[in-house]
Structure 1
C-alpha cells in the first residue's frame, strides 16, 4: 500500500466505507434472493469494526483487514476483470492506494521494491489548491474546471518507463466542514478565482484540516505510454535548440516507450539529393548517431558497403526492414552491408525514409542488438511519428540553409550587421513591388556624414623575409641536386651530368644577388623538366638510390619544390594574422556597445581595419561626437593589446617576425557607397578620395627629410593633420601612459609629402610589453575626462 507524501491539506482524511455500507443495508433489507443474504453476511462480518463506517485514520488498520476490505469491495472490483483492469482504492490527489487488481499488482511488482509511486509533476501547493477547488465545487456549487491530466510514471521489468493516465471516481466521497472552516462569500470565491498562484490566500480561506474528506475514491489507470511518448517527441521536436536541456527526454527513451524494446537505439542520416550523399547531422553534443555512416562525416550513396541494399529507400522511397541480419547476409549482394551492421552490434533494424513532397530529407534508423526485435509488424509504429519528423527535418534543413547562407555572407560577401538594416529595407521593397512584368531598380546604398577610422598592424619587412626564405629553399634544393648528380656513376651520361651540374651552380650564384620576379619560376621549371627526369631514369647504386628517394620525399606535394623555410615563414604569418584578427574581432564586439558602426578588417601581411561611425548608420540612435572619441580611444587601446599579444606570441613562432602599428586620423565626415560590382563599401566622391589616397600610401612613408620609415617595430604611429586632432590624441596617449600601456617618450615629426597630399604630422610611441598586468583593461573616453577632473 502506497502512502501519502503531502504534509499539509485543507482536509482531515477519513477513509470510510459508509456509503457502501448504506448501500449494502438497503440490499439486505429487501430480503430478496441471494444478494440479500450476501449483504447480510458482509454486514455481520464488519459489524465488530465501527471504523469501517465512522472513518479510518490509522492506515495499519487497512493492512490488518485487507481480506475483509477486499470482500467488501467485491462488487466494485469484479474478479473476472482483475487481470485486465488497472484499478485500486485511493483518495483524490493523494498517493494513498490499496486493494489493487491483479494487473495493478503485477505492474508494481515489475517496477521493483524501490519504486515509489507518485503523481507526475504534482507539488505540495498544487495538491493543496486542487483539494480546495474540490470543496468549492462540491460544497459551494461552483463549476471550476481543473481537470488537469494526472499521470503515474512506472517502469517495467525491462527498464522501459510506462505512463498511465489517472481517472478518479469520487462517488463514495463526502466533504464535510468542521467548526474551523470559514464561510466564504462570493467575493471570497472571486478573489480565489483570480489568484490561483497565491498559496497563502488559499490557506487563509481553507485552513489546514478545516474540512473532513470522508469516504474513498476509485482510480482507474489507462496505459498511455505510446501516446505520452509521441507527445514528448512532439515537444522535443518543437523546442528550439537553445531551450533544450539535458533533462529533456532523449529520442532513444521516447522510441523505446513507443516500440517497447529496451535496447532500441535511434540513428539519423541526412540525405543530400543534390550531391547524392549521406551526411552525418552535426551537433555539439550528438543525441543520435548515424548507423548508416557509423563514424564517417559523409559518404557517397553509391558506396560499395551498401551494395544495392539501400536502393529501396533511394529509388522506391520505401523502408528497409531487416528482422535478422544473419539471414539477410545469406542473400547474395547483402554480405558487405550485413558485416558492416554486425560490426556495430546490430542484429535487426529498420531504415525508413523521411519524405516531404516526394523528396527524401533523411533516413530514420532503428536498430537492436537482438534478432527479430524489429520487424515489418512493429515497423508500422513509425507511422505515428513520421509526420512530426518530416516537419522537424524540413525545418532543420531550412535552418541549416540559413546558417550556410549566413556563413557565406560572413566569410565571403560580408554585409556587416550595423548596415544590414538598409540592405534588408531595400530587399523588402524589391520583394513587395517586384513582379514578372516589372523591373525593380535597386537604389544605391549610401551612408553620408560618417567619420572614418583606419588602423593596421603590419608584418615588418614581410616582402624581404619572404624573398629570403624563397632563396634559402631554392639554394638548399640546388645544393642537394648538385650533390645527387655528382654521385651518379653512369659513364654514358657523364657529359650531360657535368652540364646539368654547371647550370645548377649558375642558378645558385644567381641567387646570391637580389631575387628577380621570375627567378623562382625559371628554377622550378628547369628542375622539373631537366633534372627530375635524369634522377628518375638513371641507374644508380644503393647509396645514390637512397639519397634520391629521400630527396623526392622532401619535396612539397603542391609545389614539387623544397618548402621548409617558406613553410616556417608562412606558418608564422598565418599564426600572427589569425591571432591578431581574433583579438580585433573580439574587441569589436565591445566597441559596438559604444555606438553601432560599420566595421571591416582584412588579413594581408598583417591585419588592417576600417571603421565608419555616424548618425546615418544608426538613425534610431542619437549621435554625439563623444561616441567617435570613445571609438578612437578604443582603437588606440586595441592596437596596444594587439602589440602585446604579438609580443607574447613572438617567442613561440617558428620564424621570428616583428610588427608595426599605424592609425590614420581623419576628422572630416565622408560618405561611403556600396559598390555593387565589387560587393564592398568604398568612399564616395572626389573630395573623400583624399582619405583613400593617404590610406594606401601612408604606411610606406618616411619621416620628412630622412630615409627613416614613420613606422617602427613595437611602436604605434598616429598620423594626423590638424591641431585639434593632435590635442585629442595627446590626451589618449598620456592617459594610456598613466595606465602603463604606453612608454613615457612621445616622438613627434612631420611626414614626407605624398603624391597630392602634404601637411601630415605624426606621433610615435612605444607599447610597454614587459608589464602585462594592465593587459585587456577597458578604458573609455569618460575615464579620461574623470581623470582630468
Structure 2
C-alpha cells in the first residue's frame, strides 16, 4: 500500500474479492440456469487476474480492473440505487474507497479536485488502536465495542460543509497473522483493554505490519448534516466567554449547513418589553440587523402596531420571504423594509427567544436572495431554538451576575425600587468595556418626599443599665460568699482586702451606674479575682469544689454572671426581628401602588425611611395622591406594628416598653448615594434640616415641660405646617372609625431643637386588638376612604 500515512499500521491491507468469488463459485454450481450462467461468466472474466483473489496492494490496479470489480460487486451495489445510495467499497479506517455509487461520485466531484477525504477527529493514535481492536475481535474472538460515530466532512459545490455519518460492513473481510505477529494471552488482552492511551504498549503487542486484513469492506454514508450541525451548535454554545468571538464564524457555518444557504448570516436583537424598545445586545460578537447602525430604537418607530403584535404578542416567527415584495404589500413597514434592503437583505426570519414567558430578543436569519428563507425552512428553527434559548438565558444570567457584582462592589445591596438606576449605570460601564479609568456616576434622586417613622424601645439605656447592675451585683454577692468561705480556711489579709473592695463596688453599683462602671468592675473581677481563685483552686479540696461551683454558674462565653443582660439582649433582638419582619412584609404590599425607596435600620427599635417621587419611577405617572396614600399606609402600619408588639410582649424574657413616632416633612428633597458610605443620604445644605430633626426628635420634650413627646401606647406625629396637621387629622379620624386609634387627640408644641423651631405634634392613643383574628384593612380601603373625604 503506497499511502505513507498507514505505513506503520499493524495491518497490511490486501484488497481481495475472494469471498465474492467463492460465492460466485457456489452459484455457478447451482441449478438456477440464469444465475449459474451469470456467475460462470464473471468467474471466467476474473480468472486471468489472480490478484483479485490473492489480494491487491497496488492501488493502481483498482483503476485497471474498475469495470470488472463493478460487475463482481453488482449484487452489493444495485444499479437501481446508484443515484440514491452513498456507498463504496473500502478498507475500513484507511480512507481508501473505490467502486462508488453515482451519488457518491457526484459528492466527491462537487467537493473539488483538491479535496482529500479524511475521517473527522481520527488521529494516528485512534487509527492504530482501532486496527488492533479489529484484530482482537476478528482473530481472538473478543467483543470490544470500539465503535464511535465516524464522520466525513465534505463541502458541496457552494462551499457549504456537509456532514456524513459513516457505516462500515466488514462481512467480506478477514484478519490473518504474519510471522511478525505476537501471540496474545488473556492477561495481555486484559492489560491492553485497560490502557487505551498507552500507544507504545499497543505497538509492542501489535507490531507494524504484523497482521494482514484481506478482503474489503462496504462503507455507506448518510447525510447527517442537520443533526451534526445541531450537535456542533450545542458545543459552540457551551464555549467559555473568551472563545465566543472566535466561534462566531463557526456559528454561521453551522447555520449555513443546516439551511444550505451559502450567504446566510445570523444576528440577535434584544427586546425590552417594559420600555417597548429594541436594544443592541451587550455581546460584542453578535450583530443586529433590526437595528442596523443604531444602539436602540423604539419598537413603534420601526414597525406598525399589527406587525408588533405578531412579533411580540403572538411570540411567533416573523418571516419575510421577499423583502421587496413585502415593502410593496406593507407600506406601513416601509422603514424596516428599507433598512433591510440597504443591508442587502432580501429574505429573513426573526425568531423570538422566550424563557419563562419572558421575551429576551430575536434571533435573526438573513439572506441576500429572495425566498431563500421562508415559512417552510423556518420549521428547522424549532429544533435549534431550545438550545439557543437556554444559551441566551445563560448569557443574560452571567450578564446579570456581572451587573450585580459591579453594584455590590461600587454601590451596595439596594432596594429594588431604585435598582433600575444602578443597573443602568452598571450596564453603561460594561458596554464601555469596563474601563477602569471611567468614573462611576453618582446616583441622585431629585424632588422626592421623605417619610420617617420609628418604633423605639422606651428607656432602653436605663433598662440595659438595670440589667447590667443586677448581673454585677449578683456576681459580687456570689464572690463575697465564696471569699468568706475561703477566709475561714485560709486566714490571709489579701482575701479580706478583696472582700472589702467587692463590698465597696456593690455599694457603688446601688447608687448610680456610670459609663465605665461595667468595664471597671468586669476588668477587676476577671483580671484580679479570677486569677486569685485559680491559685486557691489547687490548695484544698473543699475550696476547689466551691470555686468550681462558682465558675459553673457563670456564662460560658462572658465568664461573668450574664442572666439579666442576656434576657435584655434576647428581648431586644426578638422585638427588632418581629417589628422588622412586619414592616418588610407590609412594605412589599405598599410597593404595588407606586414604587418608592424603602430602608430600615435596627437600633434599640426599628427605624424606617421612605422616599417617593417621580424620579424614583420616571416611567410611571406620579401623582401627589400616592404620597397621601403612603402617609396613610405608614400610620396604619405603625398601628399594626404596635399591635404585634402587644401580642409579643408576654413572651419576652425581659419586660420592655415601646413608643412610636412619625415625622412629617412636606418639602421635597434630593437624596444622593454616598459612594464612600455605600448608602443614601440627603443632598444639600437645606435638605440637611430634615436629617437634623430626624436624629433629635425622638428624645425631645413637650415645650415648657419635662415630658417626652413620645409615650407608651400612643403614636406621636411631628409636623411643622397647618395643612399637614389637617391631613393627618383626617387619617386619624378614619383609623378611629376603624377602631385602631383612640378618641382623644393631644396637640402640643415641641421644644426648640438646635437650629429648628416651630415643630408641633399630634399624639393619639393606640387601641390594641385583643381578638385572635383582628380585622385588617387593605390599602385599597385606605385609598378609597382618603379620596372620598
Instruction: Return the TM-score normalized by structure 1.
Output: 0.52
Q: CA deviation at 1:304?
A: 4.2
In structure 2, the residue matched to 1:12 is 12
Q: CA deviation at 1:307?
A: 6.7
Deviations 1:367-418 (A, max 9, x none): 1111111111111111110111111111112111111111222222399xxx
Q: CA deviation at 1:678?
A: 7.7
Task: Report how many residues are paired.
Answer: 434
Give runs of aligned pairs for residues 414-563 of structure 1, distance below 5 A.
none
In structure 2, the residue matched to 1:298 is 296
In structure 1, the residue matched to 2:168 is 168
Deviations 1:495-531 (A, max 9, x none): xxxxxxxxxxxxxxxxxxxxxxxxxxxxxxxxxxxxx
Q: Is the counterpart of residue 94 in structure 1 residue 94 in structure 2?
A: yes
In structure 2, the residue matched to 1:377 is 376
In structure 1, the residue matched to 2:312 is 314
* Mapped contact 2:412–2:678 kept (Cα < 8 A): no
Deviations 1:79-101 (A, max 9, x none): 00000000001111111111000
In structure 1, the residue matched to 2:259 is 259
In structure 2, the residue matched to 1:347 is 346
Q: CA deviation at 1:274?
A: 2.7
Deviations 1:453-507 (A, max 9, x none): xxxxxxxxxxxxxxxxxxxxxxxxxxxxxxxxxxxxxxxxxxxxxxxxxxxxxxx
In structure 2, the residue matched to 1:50 is 50
Q: 2: CA distance between counterparts of 1:293 and 1:148? A: 44
* Mapped contact 2:291–2:297 kept (Cα < 8 A): yes
Q: Is the counterpart of residue 360 in structure 1 residue 356 in structure 2?
A: no
Deviations 1:406-451 (A, max 9, x none): 1222222399xxxxxxxxxxxxxxxxx9998999999999xxxxxx
Q: 2: CA distance between counterparts of 1:395 and 1:244? A: 13
Question: SS of the counterpart of 2:268?
Answer: strand
In structure 2, the residue matched to 1:73 is 73
Change (3 A) 1:356 1:346: same
Q: 1: CA distance between counterparts of 2:27 and 2:279? A: 73
In structure 2, the residue matched to 1:141 is 141
Change (3 A) 1:283 1:13: same
Q: 2: CA distance between counterparts of 1:304 and 1:297? A: 13
Q: 2: CA distance between counterparts of 1:97 and 1:258? A: 27
- Unaligned runs of at least 5 residues, structure 2: 415-576, 586-598, 604-674, 683-789
Change (3 A) 1:676 1:344: closer
- Unaligned runs of at least 5 residues, structure 1: 416-432, 446-608, 611-673, 680-789
Give runs of aligned pairs for residues 751-762 of structure 1, distance below 5 A.
none
In structure 2, the residue matched to 1:226 is 226
Q: Which structure: larger Rg?
A: 2
Q: Is the counterpart of residue 126 in structure 1 residue 126 in structure 2?
A: yes
Question: SS of the counterpart of 1:302?
Answer: helix
Which one is further off, 197-206 or 234-243? 234-243
Q: 2: CA distance between counterparts of 1:225 and 1:12? A: 33
In structure 2, the residue matched to 1:333 is 332
Q: 2: CA distance between counterparts of 1:2 and 1:400? A: 56
Give runs of aligned pairs for residues 94-113 of structure 1, distance below 5 A.
94-113=94-113
Which one is further off, 145-154 or 243-252? 243-252
Question: SS of the counterpart of 1:397?
Answer: helix
Give runs of aligned pairs for residues 172-187 of structure 1, distance below 5 A.
172-187=172-187
* Mapped contact 2:2–2:58 kept (Cα < 8 A): no
Instruction: Return the TM-score normalized by structure 2.
Output: 0.52
Change (3 A) 1:396 1:248: closer
Q: 2: CA distance between counterparts of 1:15 and 1:400? A: 59
In structure 1, the residue matched to 2:150 is 150
* Mapped contact 2:85–2:101 kept (Cα < 8 A): yes
Deviations 1:541-562 (A, max 9, x none): xxxxxxxxxxxxxxxxxxxxxx
Q: 1: CA distance between counterparts of 2:209 and 2:602? A: 76
* Mapped contact 2:272–2:278 kept (Cα < 8 A): yes
Q: CA deviation at 1:36?
A: 0.6
Q: 2: CA distance between counterparts of 1:310 and 1:147? A: 51
Q: 1: CA distance between counterparts of 2:3 and 2:85? A: 22
Q: 2: CA distance between counterparts of 1:378 and 1:328? A: 18
* Mapped contact 1:347–1:371 kept (Cα < 8 A): yes
In structure 1, the residue matched to 2:702 is none
Q: 2: CA distance between counterparts of 1:444 and 1:182? A: 83
Deviations 1:142-165 (A, max 9, x none): 121111111000000111000000
* Mapped contact 1:16–1:215 kept (Cα < 8 A): yes
Q: Is the counterpart of residue 398 in structure 1 residue 397 in structure 2?
A: yes
Give runs of aligned pairs for residues 594-609 of structure 1, distance below 5 A.
none
Change (3 A) 1:41 1:395: same
Q: CA deviation at 1:276?
A: 2.1
Q: CA deviation at 1:281?
A: 1.8
* Mapped contact 2:412–2:679 kept (Cα < 8 A): no
Change (3 A) 1:303 1:205: same
Q: 1: CA distance between counterparts of 2:413 and 2:239? A: 30
Q: 1: CA distance between counterparts of 2:192 and 2:139? A: 15
Question: SS of the counterpart of 1:8?
Answer: coil
In structure 1, the residue matched to 2:197 is 197
Q: CA deviation at 1:249?
A: 6.0
Question: SS of the counterpart of 1:93?
Answer: coil
* Mapped contact 1:2–1:95 kept (Cα < 8 A): no
* Mapped contact 1:2–1:96 kept (Cα < 8 A): no
Q: 1: CA distance between counterparts of 2:303 and 2:268? A: 18
Q: CA deviation at 1:316?
A: 1.9
Deviations 1:631-673 (A, max 9, x none): xxxxxxxxxxxxxxxxxxxxxxxxxxxxxxxxxxxxxxxxxxx
Q: 2: CA distance between counterparts of 1:676 and 1:115? A: 66
Task: Compute the RMSD of aligned alpha carbons.
Answer: 3.0
Change (3 A) 1:304 1:178: closer
Change (3 A) 1:4 1:248: farther
Structure 2 counterpart of 1:323, from 321, 324, 335: 321
Change (3 A) 1:384 1:9: same
Question: SS of the counterpart of 1:114?
Answer: coil
Q: 2: CA distance between counterparts of 1:250 and 1:82? A: 33
Change (3 A) 1:180 1:32: same
